[in-house]
Amino acid sequence: MKKITLLFYLLSSYYIAAQGYSTGTVNLNSTAGVAMTAKIDVDANVTLRLTGPSDRWFALGFGATSMTAGTDVVVCHANTVALPSFDRYLTGFAAPVSDGVQHWTITSNTVSGSVRTIIATRALSTGDTNDYIFSSNPNPISLIWAYGSTANNYSLTYHGGRGVAAANFTLGNNDFELSAFKMYPNPAKDYVIIDLSDLTANATVFIYDYLGRLVKKELSNTTSLRIETSNLQKGTYVVKVASENELATKVLIVD
C-alpha cells in the first residue's frame, strides 16, 4: 500500500510539473490593423504561440525592455511555411543576428486572413548563451516586440511599430484549444497508440524525457498513430500533440 501511495504521489507531482505555467494570451499590439499576441506555456519545455501580421516581418524578444545586446529574439521574416533563422539575438540597435544553432522547433505556421500564427517549442535551457533561460517557476517576464513598416516587407529593415510588454505566469490548467487526445496503453511497453480522431487537421506528436529533451517526433495524417516505445528507457515522459492552433499534453509511463 505504501508503494502504491508513493507511486501515486510521484505521478501526481509530475503531472502538476508537466502541466506547468502559462502567461495566457498577452496582447502586444493592435494598432493600424497589425495584431500581435504572444502566449508562453512552460512545463517540461516551453511552447510559444505567437501571432502577427501575415504581410510583413514581426519579432518577439525575451527578458528585455529595449534592444539590449544579447537579447534572445524570435523572428518571422519570410512569407513561407518554413522559417529559416527563426531563432536570433540582438547585437544592439540593429537587425537581429541569426543564432548559430536553431533551437526552436516550429510545429505550426498558418495564415488566416491578415494574421499569421506560429507555434514553436524548445527546451527551457538550451545551453546556448544566446538563448533566454525560461524558469520552471512562475517568474514574470518582460517582452519586446516589433513589426515591419510596410506590407510585403520581410527584409528586417525599418519597423512600423515596437514596444514592451510585461507578462506574468500563472498555474496552467490545460486550457488549450485541443481539449484532449486519447493515448493507450499507458503504461506502455513496446508501443503507444495516439488517438487523434478529435482533431480536424494533421498533427505532430512530440515525446520529451524528464529532462525536457525531445526523444521522438512523429507526423500524422491519420486518426490513429502507433509509436514504438521499446527503444525508450523505462520512465516518465511528456507527450505533446500540436495541430495548427491546437495543443495538448499528457504524461506517458514507459514500463
Partners of 191 in the beta sheet? 228
pLDDT per position as a tens digit, 44-83: 889 999 999 999 999 999 999 999 999 999 999 999 988 9
Q: How far apart are CA 137 and CA 54, in angstroms?
A: 33
- Tell me the three cell numbers of residue 97: 543576428
Residue type, 90: L
Residues of the chain whose pLDDT is less than 50? 1-18, 173-178
Phi first, then psi: give them for residue 31, nearest 5 degrees. -90, 155
For 208, the enclosing helix (H) or strand (E) is strand 203-208
- What is the residue extent of each domain of the chain? 20-171, 174-254
Domains 20-171 and 174-254 share a fold: yes
Residue type, 20: G
Class of domain 20-171: mainly beta
pLDDT for the residue numbered 255: 87
Q: Tell me what the pLDDT averaged over the chain comes to.
A: 84
**Closest alpha carbon to 147 in 75, 248, 250:** 75
**Closest alpha carbon to 32 in 162, 167, 166:** 162
Q: How far apart are CA 93 and CA 43, in angstroms?
A: 33
Residue identified by cell 517582452 is 143
Q: How far apart are CA 16 and CA 43, in angstroms?
A: 9
pLDDT for the residue numbered 180: 62
**174-254 CATH, one of 3.40.1170.20, 3.90.850.10, 2.60.40.3080, 1.10.10.10:** 2.60.40.3080
Predicted TM-score of the model (pTM): 0.67
pLDDT for the residue numbered 240: 85
